[in-house]
A and B are shown apart, each in its own frame.
Chain A
């Protein structure tokens, strides 16, 4: 059993949890994810790691309640436990395989969409520890939905919040903000790392292709085991089939077939009704909640 030692709301429908998992906390690296199974009947839910503390033995996850399983998860309180917590899964961020000298020469900007802000944080934090200050664009629906801005400011260069409704920061999409930074404010970025909803990552990649900036995305497809066994998370990258769980989750965004990836995320949509009869409405569909 894996105990919840901290829980707090970050925004409407978004909450954070610190979970006791000493082995995972010790081996986790930025860019990796975990799988949680809440109880006997639960699904295996992939969630990105948003922080970890090897000394305390805890791993932080940030969750958005978008389906039955995540709504169920929201009911868990400090002191409760999940039956299963496994990780870290996937490859560490590609940044970690580059030399610090190379990284210091680069201007890096992260584009974080909604919940994607959570997995961006450990990468920005790690860069900061290496003496590299990256910029971060945080996108959200409105002011109340901007998460982790204060933490981010402590480790990032510039932080640019953007809201769809203009209630906070820049009014408009993250792609417009990025375009403005590059074209009007003369920012010269060598690398964009985009993490967020697939549709956002797709549009960021379209833009950065025009702008000629290398872009890494973190994919969040449906998966079961997370160790390469099921192949449910397969994606086409540069014409080749890749498994997001073991080959990723990060890929060269300009080579990902987003149309296929987005279509595959709907794989179980038609099963929703049949599977949930006799259970609870809205249950049974949690693939890709990362």
Chain B
């Protein structure tokens, strides 16, 4: 194998995987991982690390993999990240660490993501102990939300000896990792559950079914339950709709609803009682990772899946790998198309979607070329289900029930970049609740920074 070429990774055959919910990517074997790791140049000034939001010592763990010291590799990664098996699967490495790999100039960048995943999976399969913490200091910290930012913040604080409790609104921990990202990209019972368990092994307590703002307020947590600091990692869970006619017809869903039914409630599995409705032809409106997750879920449930996106393929916000996988699985890309109205029958069921074709004009504020309607190009798509995947915004519940917590006009909590400190003393925030919908790893970075700031504040 030439140093220029990446060791290929096994994937389920597209035709077969389009009919099941098993993971698409099968991961490296030990030999494959060692071979891929051997390509790493172990740069003196590793550029990959500078592009990692949590600054994992990437060459450090890769060298251990190369030397078959897998448990050592686990320990290196664990210093920086509580969720390696998750990040190895869902991080956009191609725009982060791997984008700066020297090998990428003349050949393939080293497969950092796939190696991280290998290390995370090894840790689980071989039960590597990474539960070491400093002595307990007895100080209580509350973390709201058990998604990527909350788990990271809680894990880091527990390592520093704090008595941390995570409050989760849903019945299961993991946040977007559990309700948003499908099983075929991120297995729940193995990968997510295990990494949540690892955080609990550090001594973090988890209270599910607690909606902060309803069940208990931040004020009550601090005054009645003696929490010395609070981290808000409540995510961006509110779905957006287009505001076009017909959006409340039967058969129109938010991507959040569709995915939550399938992922969190496991509606795709026999025996689980939550129903899910997927027709014969499904249009998913949007072009992000959530849109790809939705359309690929619909395909697996037996539908013909369409992506309807108003710009062209090069503007798709989804990761290239997700788009590629979706196409392989038979997803039809209806690009430069924008919905105008959803059509229903006399019973209120969706029977079609009126759309208009678009062309690209001059770049807009986002730097992407602005889509413009082509007059007279309206046509009707023959679909019976429409899934709106237009992005999400933070849930206003906590700001509404926490006096003095400032938000911006996008409903995001205002927090300092470096510390996550909000407008309230001892209350920190991070992740999508602050940034609006973004990535798992950026949320983890925010959780890490806040943990550091909370420690510095409470240690005094």
Contact = CB atoms under 8 A, between A and B. Distances in A.
Contacts of A285: 275
Interface stretch (A120-128, A171-179, A204-212, A271-279): A271-279
Contacts of A89: 211, 214
Interface of A: 23-24, 27, 37, 41-44, 68-69, 83-89, 224-225, 227-232, 234-236, 241, 246, 260, 263-264, 266-268, 270-272, 275, 278-279, 283-287
Contacts of B265: 43-44, 224
A83 B197 CA distance: 19
Contacts of B274: 43-44, 224, 284
B295 to A, nearest CB: 18
A142 to B, nearest CB: 31
Contacts of B216: 23, 27
B376 interface: no
Nearest to B279: A270
Interface string B268-279: 001111111100
B327 interface: no
Nearest to A267: B250
A275 B271 contact: no
B250 A264 contact: yes
Nearest to B347: A263
A227 B250 CA distance: 21
A37 B241 CA distance: 28
Contacts of A266: 250
Nearest to A234: B248
Nearest to B213: A227
B211 A227 contact: yes
Given A89-B214, A227-B211, A264-B248, A241 B241 contact: yes
Interface of B: 169-171, 179, 208-211, 214-216, 237-239, 241, 247-248, 250-251, 253-254, 256-257, 260-261, 264-267, 270-277, 347-348, 395, 397
Contacts of B247: 241
A230 B277 contact: no
A241 to B, nearest CB: 7
B257 A230 contact: yes
Contact of B210 (A23, A42, A228, A234): A23
B349 to A, nearest CB: 9
Contact of B208 (A27, A84, A241): A84
A247 B248 CA distance: 17
B209 A43 contact: no
B209 A275 contact: no
A41 B209 contact: no
B146 to A, nearest CB: 14
A123 B169 CA distance: 26
B270 A230 contact: no
A37 B171 contact: yes
A264 B128 CA distance: 50
B272 A246 contact: no
7 contacts: A41-B272, A87-B211, A225-B170, A225-B260, A229-B238, A241-B247, A279-B273
Given A23-B215, A85-B209, A271-B276, A228 B238 contact: yes
B154 to A, nearest CB: 19
Given A227-B237, A229-B237, A264-B250, A68 B261 contact: no
Contacts of A263: 250, 347-348
Contacts of B251: 267
A111 B210 CA distance: 32
Contacts of B254: 230-232
A275 B214 CA distance: 33
Contact of A279 (B169, B170, B171, B270): B270
Contacts of A228: 237-238, 395, 397
B239 A231 contact: yes
Given A37-B171, A42-B273, A236-B248, A224 B260 contact: yes
A41 B248 contact: no
Contacts of A68: 273
Given A83-B171, A224-B264, 20 more contacts: A37-B171, A42-B273, A44-B171, A44-B274, A69-B273, A84-B208, A86-B170, A87-B214, A89-B214, A224-B257, A227-B237, A228-B397, A229-B256, A231-B256, A232-B257, A234-B248, A241-B248, A264-B248, A268-B277, A270-B277
A68 B266 CA distance: 18
Nearest to B388: A231
Nearest to A88: B214
Nearest to B217: A27
